């Protein structure tokens, strides 16, 4: 199974404007991931970790154990390459058009979406392949028609501008299979009809 998962604002943005390395969620975008950290955090104090709401903790626990993970270079760089250490506990494939010798060795760098998926399938075996951000990476796999399940976590904020998840290049009917919520996010899971 291939599961794409991302957090968006109520108006559909995965990041606010002016995102950059070290500011991967852009202006005001930290609020998108309050549910991940248990409450307010900022780029200046990224170590904040409050008590997570039980629903948010349950959703986060479900992310563990993927057979392989695919993320985009933008997300990878904006997250400061996770300090060079794989935070997922599964093989991570970074989709990029810039492979350089100075990249951390805990990750596999792949230049094409199909190639990344092929390598992830080989590593994952019968396990889930998790596709994370950014929005462009998720849109590529949605357009390829390979995503079975789409998880969208809606943070209760309106960013007004930024990077949209959907750009009009993907259309599909979806079946809602799960809906949970906390004060910091509404967690929706859809199966994609084929």
Cα separation, 29 vs 13, in Å, equals 9
Distance from the Cα of residue 150 to its chain's centroid: 11
Over its C-alpha atoms, the chain yields an Rg (Å, rounded) of: 16
Closest CA to 135 of 1, 25, 37: 25
On the 0-12 / 13-18 / 19+ scale of CB atoms within 10 A, 47 is exposed
Task: Enter the DSSP assignment of 132.
Answer: -
Cβ–Cβ < 8 Å for 15, 164:
no
> What is the SS3 assignment for 6-49?
EEEECCCEEECCCCECCECCCCCHHHHHHHHHCCCCCCCCCCCC
Where along the chain do its domains lie? Answer: 2-192
CATH superfamily of 2-192: Dihydrofolate Reductase, subunit A (3.40.430.10)
Question: Residue 54 belongs to what H/E stretch?
Answer: helix 54-63
Cβ–Cβ < 8 Å for 146, 117:
yes
Report H helices in 80-155: 113-124, 135-144
Per-residue pLDDT of the chain (194 residues), as tens digits, is: 999 999 999 999 999 999 877 778 889 999 999 999 888 887 777 666 678 999 999 999 888 889 999 999 988 887 778 889 988 889 999 999 988 889 999 999 999 999 999 999 999 999 999 999 889 999 999 999 999 999 999 999 999 999 999 999 999 999 999 999 999 999 999 999 98
Cβ–Cβ < 8 Å for 169, 139:
yes
């Amino acid at each position: 199974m291939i599961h794409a998962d991302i957090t968006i604002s109520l108006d559909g943005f995965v990041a606010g404007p002016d995102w950059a390395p070290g500011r991967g969620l852009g202006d005001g975008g930290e609020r998108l991931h309050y549910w991940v950290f248990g409450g307010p955090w900022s780029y200046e104090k990224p170590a904040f970790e409050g008590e997570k709401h039980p629903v948010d903790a349950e959703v986060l626990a479900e992310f563990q154990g993927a057979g392989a993970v695919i993320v985009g270079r933008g997300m990878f760089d904006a997250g400061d390459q996770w300090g060079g250490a794989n935070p997922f506990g599964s093989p991570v494939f970074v989709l990029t058009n810039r492979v350089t010798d100075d990249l951390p060795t805990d990750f596999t760098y792949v230049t094409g979406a199909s190639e990344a998926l092929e390598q992830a399938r080989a590593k994952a075996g019968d396990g889930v392949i998790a596709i994370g951000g950014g929005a462009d990476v998720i849109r590529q796999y949605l357009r390829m028609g390979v995503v079975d399940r789409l998880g969208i976590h809606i943070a209760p904020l309106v960013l007004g501008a930024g990077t949209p998840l959907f750009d009009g290049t993907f259309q599909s009917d979806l079946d809602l299979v799960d809906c949970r919520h906390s004060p910091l996010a509404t967690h929706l899971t859809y199966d994609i009809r084929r």
